[in-house]
Amino acid sequence: MTTTLPAYDDVVARYEPVIGLETHVELGTNTKMFCGCPTDFGGEPNTRVCPVCLGLPGSLPVANKAAIEATIRIGLALNCSIAPWSRFARKNYFYPDMPKDFQISQYDEPLCFEGYLDVEVNGELVRIGIERVHLEEDTGKSLHVGGATGRIHGATESLVDYNRAGIPLVEIVTKPVPGIGALAPEVARAYVTELRDVLRSLGVSDVRMEEGSLRCDVNTSLNLPGAEWGTRTETKNVNSLRSVERAVRSEMLRQASVLDAGGRIVQETRHFQEDTGGTRPGRSKETATDYRYFPEPDLVPLAPEAAWVAELKAALPELPRLHRRRLQEQWGLSDADMQSVLNAGAVELIEATVAAGATPAAARKWWLGELSRRANETGVELADIGATPHQVAELQGLVDAGKLNDKLARTVLEGVVAGEGSPTQIMANRGLEVVSDTGALTAAVDEAIAANPGVAEKVRSGKVAAAGALVGAVMKTTRGQADAKTVRELILERLGAQG
């Protein structure tokens, strides 16, 4: 069935979207949730396993205190209440990547509940309600071999890697977010971005969407103005911030086209398609499961002491949004300038560069200018460009000391990005330092004057502007390694003209 999708502006003029987000975060604890196996990413399949995370008969889980602490800190950072008493529950369903054929999760007694996260969209603050934050264990990973699609259907063989099984996973569920109209896709993205920054500032996870340590499911529904909320769909496989925004948008368009045609939205799980930006149906209703939740009898209830929670709360770091506001003031940036810093993902980089000795203006110039340009060209994240804040600060120090001019500094930066070493080393190795030896420079100037008698005569007669041609000639013979201002002064001096 091919349908022409309606225009976005048209959709938001006629329908009101409601979104909701479920985010899974793999915690960066040293060991798994219920056993002592290591959690690092990668590793030969099935090497980071033991009787517990393989669910062998007789094995028992023991909860990881570091994971409980991280979850409480996340809850506190999201302004949640921390349950004085909560329990793990078993979520029962058969699937080979779940060693016990049930997942230890939390059901009606989550560790953290009723919070919020404020996010900024177009300068406006939107408060996203947090329904719950709970702790569970991750599943293993299935690999289906031999099929065309990599999915289980048509595969000749299925392999399971349990290295990931049992890694602590925090699920953060928002309340439904209505009333945001056309901004829905941007709000969704802003929320996940802000949440990622909060989690990063807490140091509880490396929050890498591409490695799956931060995973997002997006719920979307449409309703007519004034009507009840529509049936929602859940879109999975949303693996980047950009995809979050695209997934909401495309699902709004798809639902509108269904509704426009007099159709009905089916409550279902859909999968985001990175290539097309659309969604396609996932698990069908026929296999919808009754998870038969019940309290996990192998684990004692969690009862975090109030004093401990208070201690964790007092030790929370400054939240990213407040932190950014403080930086904006310190750096003296307008809202628009700050926004471009944010969009470039350069806040922490600039902050670190300033901490390493550069002025905010210089730090911003490098990260938003040359480095952002190169990041865009090569399609990598700015943070992964290959230059560190320390190197950028060092580079700027060389400029400030007059050892590099702007053009040379850019060349040195190329070397830094290429991994040739520190700016000072590159400057020395490539012989890029500004020619400041006046003897050599005077010789070059005299040579230029001798080679261009006509121009020299004009300058002598008072046409100072003509000196530009001589400056150019000197820069050429010094391969750009001279300071243009010094060269100009020297030329005027030699020709007895006044600047």
Interacting residues toward other proteins by CB under 8 A: 51, 54-63, 90, 92, 94, 96, 99-102, 152, 156, 158, 160, 290, 292-294, 297-300
Residue (258 or 299) nearer to other proteins, CB:
299
- Measured from the CB atom, the residue of 143 and 469 that comes closer to other proteins is 143
Residue 292 Cβ, how far from other proteins at the closest point, in Å? 4
Which residue, 92 or 231, is less far from other proteins as judged by CB?
92
The answer to whether the CB of 285 falls within 8 A of the CB of 250 is no
User: Which CB sits closer to other proteins, 104 or 344?
Assistant: 104
Q: Which residues contact 56 (CB under 8 A, 6 or more apart)?
A: none
CB of 299 to other proteins, least distance (A): 5
Q: For residue 235, which of 173, 279, 176, 172 has the smallest C-alpha distance? A: 279
Shortest Cβ 38–other proteins spacing (Å) = 18
* Bridge partner residues of 214 (DSSP): 25
Q: How far is the CB of 301 from other proteins (least distance, A)?
A: 10
Shortest approach of other proteins to residue 76 CB, angstroms? 25
Which residue lies nearer to other proteins by CB, 127 or 292?
292
Q: How far apart are CA 162 and CA 7, in angstroms?
A: 45
Q: Give 108 or 447: the residue with its C-beta nearer to other proteins.
A: 108
- Residue 92 or residue 422: which is nearer to other proteins going by CB? 92
State the nearest-atom distance from the C-beta of 54 to other proteins, in Å: 7
CA angle 475, 479, 482 (to 5 degrees): 50
Query: Could you tell me the smallest distance in angstroms from the CB atom of residue 306 to other proteins?
Result: 22
CB of 6 or CB of 140, closer to other proteins: 140
Min dist. Cβ of residue 294 to other proteins (A)? 6
Question: Comparing C-alpha atoms, which of 74, 80, 207 is closest to residue 135?
Answer: 74
Closest approach, Cβ 195 to other proteins, in A, equals 31
Closest approach of Cβ 315 to other proteins, in Å? Answer: 27
Q: Which is nearer to other proteins, 4 or 156 (CB)?
A: 156
Q: Return the number of the residue (199 or 302) whose C-beta is nearest other proteins.
A: 302
Torsion angle of C-alpha atoms 122, 127, 133, 139, degrees rounded to 10: -30
Q: Could you tell me which of 153, 9, 147, 134 has the C-alpha nearest to residue 67?
A: 134
Minimum Å gap between C-beta 189 and other proteins is 34
* End-to-end CA separation in angstroms for the chain: 76
Q: Which is nearer to other proteins, 87 or 488 (CB)?
A: 87
Instruction: Report the C-alpha gap between 437 and 440 in whole angstroms.
Output: 6
